[in-house]
A and B are shown apart, each in its own frame.
Chain A
Amino acid sequence: MADDFPPMTSIKRWLVTTNHKDVGILYLATALFFLLFGGILALLFRVQLWSSGGVILSDSAFNQSVTTHGLLMVFWFLSPFAAGFANYFVPLQIGAKDLAFPRLNALSYWFYLFSGLLIGISFFQGGTFEGGWTMYAPLNVPMYTGMEAATGGNTAILALTLFTISITLGTMNFLTTIHRSRAEGMGLWNMPLFTWSWLLTVWMMLFAFAALLAALLLLATDRILLTQYFATDQGSSLLWAHIFWFFGHPEVYIVFFPALGIMFETFQTFTGRRLVGRKWVIIAMVLVAVQSFLVWMHHMYLTTINLEIKTLFMATTIGISLPFDLMVFALIYTMVKGRVRFTTPFLFSLGALVLFILGGITGVFLGAVVLDYEFRGTYWVVAHFHYVMVSGVTALIAGLYYWWPKITGKMYSEALGKLNFAVYFVGFNLLYFPMFLAWETPRRVFHYQEGMEIWHQMATVGAFVFGLSFLIMFYTLGKSLVSGPDAPDNPWQYARTAEWAIPSPPPLENWSGRPSYASGRLEFVDETPAAAPATDGGSPASDGGALTTADAVHGTLDQAHGHGHEEEHADHASIWPFGIGIGMFVFLLGVSGLTPSVAALAEWLDPEWAAEAGISGSVDYLYPAITLAGLAILAYVLFEFGREQFNAPEMAVAERWPFEGVGNTKLGVWFFLASDVVVFGAFIGAYVFMRIYAGWDTWGPVPDHTWAGLLNTYILLTSSFTVILALVMAERGNKKGLIATLGATLLLGLSFMGVKAWEWYDKFLQGDFWFSGLEYSLYYVTTGLHGVHVLLGLFIAVFMLYRIFTIDAYLEDSRPVEFFGLYWHFVDIVWVFLFPLFYLM
């Protein structure tokens, strides 16, 4: 397939590519598009703020603008822009040929792009979500805007859900890659700092975005299926705030860490010095990554949480600020006795450092709870976090200039780059500094005190200057593309990392020999068959959900399977990730408009409830039809994705601590399950939180028949047993046994779903629906999420049976059966928690 891989000038190339460098370019370009999108929204409301009372936008349009600006910048610009660099350079910095799961990587990108397109579409569905990027409850449910007006908001929430899924796929991929594909001699400790910062970013993402995914799934069921999680005055607001900020605070570091990594890289290169206190900087970053999950309630000081908790979170908050002091000083001292060259990337990095210092100092104000009481909800917060976040943007722009010659093979004009920086820096401070002076203005209002007008007008002028600097940047880069001189392999003196040791732009397969640091320096080992080491062999890796192709296990196992050392053929093209992206896009677009139909259904099922809740809807045929079309597309493309032969060779020789003994795909499955644990944890946590809030004994168990739950527990535990037998049969190469045991698993799963369907139907007959009350929502949604997991498992089982029947799959390589078993056991274990929680307590 590599032979007919289309050239970069062909559109087809960009639709089918799975190569990490191509995907990196796609991420960078798309993220810049969303930067413009979010930036134009910001200009709109800065114009609105020219004078108190507003000029051009209605109340609703203003709220839509500030909300979408926040969502786009935080989600669709910052992290994906960093992900673009990570896609391109993390494999190069660690000496890998590609990410562990290239097709999954392309899928991450397409989910990202299509989720962003959904945001664009949501504006035209009667207005997009307008409850702020923090989406506080209960404003985030449509009870205050009406069911018909919910569609655009639904699309925005579903878009963010799809984005979150994209991030989760990406984290599985990068965690597996960084832990399993490092060149010989490159221990974790030896990784370049950009890679380090990205590793910690994806670790935080794995857990933080899982919490966000849970919050969004609950919100989406509220908005579309009319459940009650965030609609009550019984803890709903606090439930949302807890889950959202549990995600939201790590998110701050998630968007800032990659920028920090770029600052470390560029400071070292352009000062000609190694980072001072490197070891301590890494330790500081690890501490921040862990502690980031323990500070979320400092966003909630005014929400009636008690003094003890405030004190605790004040302490953890101060604690997490200190490692950043160390990092800042490490950067400053790295310049000492250096040879500082004021190139464009260095200027942006230095600018980022200065802005970050100011952002950090103004953050200490917020760390003092008494001051936070007064700053809460004001422009002080706005100014502070823009100084921090956009300091991050500044460093990311540094990264763009730093790596531009490597990516494009062209140099840019330093004069234009410096002009870019000058305008950028002036515009930045003119935009954000007056916000400190106007700090008493409440956030997200355009009626403000007259005395503040001058500051708001300065900020608006600054916004346009700041916007202009991006036009200069696009001009500089465009000019470089068209007429820039060719870039050498390494245009920067004192650059150290491996991406500078190969041509600009790098060839498709990155390396001419196997990169190795075994001698303490980067060397390229000649890998002709005769010279290859005798102990290891590469073999194709399967790709995430596609449990079809083989996956390598490090060491001698491969030889037992008969894999040779012939030049491994790597695939770089698959159209199916794009297809799955389209399928999800159509499906979610359809789902966004289901609320009125569901409301009509609820009205029909329980007219009394609907009248009391003021809910009425009318059945609509367009959106359900789109939903079904999306499902049909998804079924087809997922099937083809699963069937496709796609080789992503695992590295023959690599540093893999601490995961030497786990294959790539298995490790990926483990990472996925880890994030799924957090998703279920958040669902179960929501149940426990709401029940404690209501008074634990206020509600009894919702299901009527404990025996039915117990029966289902036995059914699932038995199916765990049959799936173990299936693995044994596959290992023995026993086709009939494999079909029997896998078929038994399938039947047991179907029995489970049958019992569940009967239970639900029985409840419905009594008039207890998922929307009938909070306790019913909790029961139906939590067990429903588990049911969806069972259902997905059954689809995989059917697919696997089909593969066994048609091509005798898994008889020679049983590992896909094992991966399926891991998932299945996990789903069973979750039930073991759900059964006592919902049937016995």
Chain B
Amino acid sequence: MQTDTRVDVFEEIFIVFLALGTLVGVIVVAYTLYNAYKYRDVGADEDEDLPTLGELPTGGKGGRKLFVSFILSAIIVVSLVVWTYGMLLYVEDGPGDNPGDDAVEIDVEGQAFAWIFEYENGVESTNTMYVPADTPVWVNVTSTDVWHAFGIPEERVKADSIPGEYDLTWFIADLPDGEEEIVYEDGIECFELCGAGHSNMKGDLVVMEPDAFDEWLEEEAAALEEDEEDEDDEEGDA
């Protein structure tokens, strides 16, 4: 089964918008400049109804063309945005019928000026996010201090990181064919001014084979337990 990733959704819409936007932009700007040039002042006859100083303002002729253009542009804009609405619903609902089944959940905390990731089994990592490839990853984003915005441009995912709020969203990371792991250095960025360290509030994204990811999680969990036991021992000694 082929599921659309956030990257797919974005590309699909962005390209259409870019193509249509460029086309409309070129046509309208060209038509504007064409009119300005074509109707440049050449000192033609004076017997028309020209505006004079002190007249009460009234409108000029050409209303029909105006409405045709207006309605055309309205159709383009409205249909474009309405067309994207289906994609919005898809992004809001997430991929698949049961996002809970094979999905991974990661809690993300923004903190001036670092990202803290907590995985389902309690494992935490700071500034490096580990995710399995080809698996829906649900991120639940919040902040412990000021307003940040968590974003991974490579995966086209973003969520505001606001104290007291939990912004839930998802993405699916791809692995290029033949690769076992890929690291996007500084692939995670903060998109809301959050203080002096905002500019360099970045993290790495590590995309792994799903099995490798599970293995990593277990290793980390084991290491965590050992640490805790060590601490308990130390406390016991003291």
Contact surface of A with B, Cβ cutoff 8 Å: 54, 59-60, 62-63, 66-67, 130-132, 136-139, 144, 185-186, 190-193, 232-238, 268-269, 271-280, 302-304, 307, 310-311, 314, 318, 321-322, 325-326, 328-330, 332-342, 350, 353-354, 357-358, 361-362, 364-365, 367-371, 373-374, 376-378, 440, 442-447, 449, 490, 494-498, 500-501, 517, 520-523
In whole angstroms, how far apart are the Cα atoms of A342 and B42 in the complex? 12
Q: Report A-chain residues with C-beta under 8 Å of the C-beta of B159.
A: 302
Q: A318-B77, A353-B32 are in contact. Are A235 and B57 (CB under 8 A)?
A: no
CB of B40 within 8 A of CB of A342, answer: yes
Please determine whether A329 and B40 come into contact, CB atoms closer than 8 angstroms: no
Query: A276: which of B62, B151, B190 is its contact (CB, 8 Å)?
Result: B62
For B76, the closest partner residue in chain A by CB is A364
A507→B75 CA distance, assembly (Å):
51
Q: Which among A235, A334, A373 is the interface contact of B60 at CB below 8 angstroms? A: A334
Instruction: Give the contacting residue for A340; candidates B9, B36, B89; CB below 8 A.
Output: B36
Q: Is B105 an interface residue (CB 8 A)?
A: no
Chain B neighbourhood of A185, CB < 8 A: 56
Minimum CB–CB distance from A450 to chain B (whole Å) comes to 10
Please tell me if the beta carbons of A274 and B92 are within 8 angstroms of each other in the complex: no
Please give the distance in Å from A325's CB to the nearest CB on chain B.
Answer: 4
Is B210 at the interface (CB under 8 A from chain A)?
no
26 A–B contacts, CB within 8 A, in A order = A63-B198, A131-B195, A139-B146, A139-B193, A238-B162, A271-B39, A272-B51, A275-B59, A277-B66, A278-B57, A303-B160, A303-B162, A325-B69, A333-B69, A335-B32, A335-B36, A340-B40, A342-B36, A357-B29, A364-B81, A368-B84, A373-B158, A442-B151, A442-B190, A496-B51, A522-B55
B238 interface residue (CB < 8 Å to A): no
Residues from chain A with Cβ under 8 Å of B60 in the complex: 273-276, 278, 334
Is A520 touching B163 in the complex (CB atoms < 8 A)?
A: no
Partner of A350, one of B17, B31, B36: B36
CB of B205, distance to nearest CB on chain A (Å) = 13
For the complex, is B182 an interface residue (Cβ under 8 Å from A)?
Answer: no
Question: Is there contact, CB below 8 Å, between B192 and A237?
Answer: no
Of A279, A335, A370, chain B has the most CB atoms within 10 Å of the CB of: A370
* Contact in complex: A496, B193 (CB < 8 Å): no
B1 at the interface (CB under 8 A from A): no
Docked-complex contact B50 and A494, CB < 8 angstroms:
yes
B residues near A446, Cβ cutoff 8 Å: 199
Determine how close the nearest CB of chain B comes to the CB of A21; give it in whole angstroms.
20
Q: Which B residues are in CB contact (< 8 Å) with A364?
A: 17, 21, 77, 80-81
Contact B41 A340, beta carbon cutoff 8 Å: yes
Chain B min CB distance to A801 (Å) = 49
CA distance A449 to B184 in the complex (A): 11
- Taking a contact as CB atoms under 8 Å apart, the answer to whether A238 and B165 are in contact is yes
Beyond the given pairs A138-B147, A236-B163, A496-B54, 17 more chain A to chain B contacts, judged by CB atoms under 8 angstroms and listed by A's residue number, are: A59-B198, A144-B112, A144-B145, A232-B164, A276-B61, A302-B159, A325-B69, A339-B42, A358-B29, A361-B21, A364-B21, A370-B13, A377-B191, A442-B151, A446-B199, A447-B202, A521-B54
Q: How far is the CA of A214 from the CA of B44 in the complex (A)?
A: 57
Q: How far is the CB of B227 from chain A (nearest CB, A)?
A: 29
B16-35 residues at the A interface, CB under 8 angstroms: 17, 21, 24-25, 28-29, 31-33, 35
Closest residue of chain A to B191 (Cβ to Cβ) is: A377
In the complex, whether B206 has a CB less than 8 A from a CB of chain A is: no
Number of B residues near A (Cβ < 8 Å) is 85
Partner of B55, one of A235, A361, A443, A521: A521
Of chain A, the residue at the smallest CB distance from B58 is: A274
The answer on a CB contact under 8 Å between A237 and B165 is yes
| Contact present for A500 and B163 (CB under 8 Å) | no
Kindly state the separation between the CA atoms of A705 and B145 in the bound complex, as whole angstroms: 37
Tell me, in angstroms, the Cα distance from A376 to B43 when the chains sit together. 50
Does any Cβ of A come within 8 Å of B52's Cβ?
Answer: yes
Chain A residues with CB below 8 A from B147, complex form: 136-139, 237
CA distance A193 to B60 in the complex (A): 13
B92: which A residues are within 8 A, CB to CB?
307
Pair A304/B57 contact, Cβ less than 8 Å: no
For A66, list chain B residues within 8 Å (CB): 193
Contact B199 A444 (CB under 8 A): yes
The answer to whether A440 touches B153, judged by C-beta atoms less than 8 angstroms apart, is yes
Closest A residue to B66 by beta carbon equals: A277
Give the complex CA separation of A332 and B60 in angstroms. Answer: 12
Number of A-B contacts (CB under 8 A): 286
State the Cβ distance, A36 to closest chain B Cβ, in Å.
24
- Contact at A496–B52, with CB atoms within 8 Å? yes
Q: A139 to B156, alpha carbons, bound, how many Å?
A: 26
Closest to A495 in B: B53
CB distance from A776 to the nearest CB of B (A): 19
In the bound complex, residues from chain A placing their C-beta under 8 Å from that of B73 are 322, 325, 329
Min CB gap A662→B, angstroms: 25
Task: Please judge, given known A-B contacts A237-B164, A277-B66, A329-B66, whether A373 and B91 are in contact too, CB under 8 Å.
Answer: yes
In Å, the complex CA distance between A136 and B165 comes to 15
- For residue B51, which residues in chain A have a CB less than 8 angstroms away from its CB? 268-269, 272-274, 494, 496
* 4 A-B pairs closest in CB distance: A377-B191, A278-B59, A522-B54, A233-B164
User: Separation in Å of the B70 CB from the closest CB of chain A?
Assistant: 5
Q: What residue in chain A is nearest B190 (Cβ atoms)?
A: A442
CB distance from A440 to the nearest CB of B (A): 5
Separation of A237 and B198 alpha carbons in the complex (Å): 18
B14 on the A face (CB < 8 A): yes
- Residue among B81, B189, B194 with the highest chain A CB neighbour number at 10 A: B81
Given A341-B41, A369-B88, residue A318 in contact with residue B78 (CB < 8 A) = yes
Q: A277-B59, A302-B159, A307-B92 are in contact. Are A371 and B66 (CB under 8 A)?
A: no
Q: Counting CB contacts under 8 A, is B126 at the interface?
A: no
Q: Is B166 a contact partner of A304 (Cβ separation < 8 A)?
A: yes
Query: Chain B nearest CB: distance from A62 CB in Å?
Result: 7
B10/A332 in contact, CB under 8 A:
no
Residue of A nearest to B162 (CB): A237
Distance from A134 Cβ to chain B, minimum over Cβ atoms (Å): 8
CA distance A280 to B58 in the complex (A): 12
Query: Closest Cβ of chain B: how far from A421's Cβ, in Å?
Result: 13
Q: What residues of A have a CB within 8 angstroms of the CB of B194 in the complex?
A: 139
Q: A139-B194, A302-B158 are in contact. Are A186 and B56 (CB under 8 A)?
A: yes
Question: Chain B residue with minimal CB distance to A232?
Answer: B164
Closest to A371 in B: B13
Q: Mark B139-169, 1 if CB is under 8 A from A, else 0.
A: 0000001110101010010111011111100
The yes or no answer to B197 lying at the interface (CB within 8 A) is yes
Complex alpha-carbon distance, A371 and B84, angstroms = 9
Measured between C-beta atoms, what is the minimum distance from A691 to chain B in Å? 15
Q: Which residue of A lies closest to B145 (CB)?
A: A144
Question: How far is B100's CA from A662's CA once the two chains are assembled, in angstroms?
Answer: 66
A234 touches B59 (CB 8 A): no
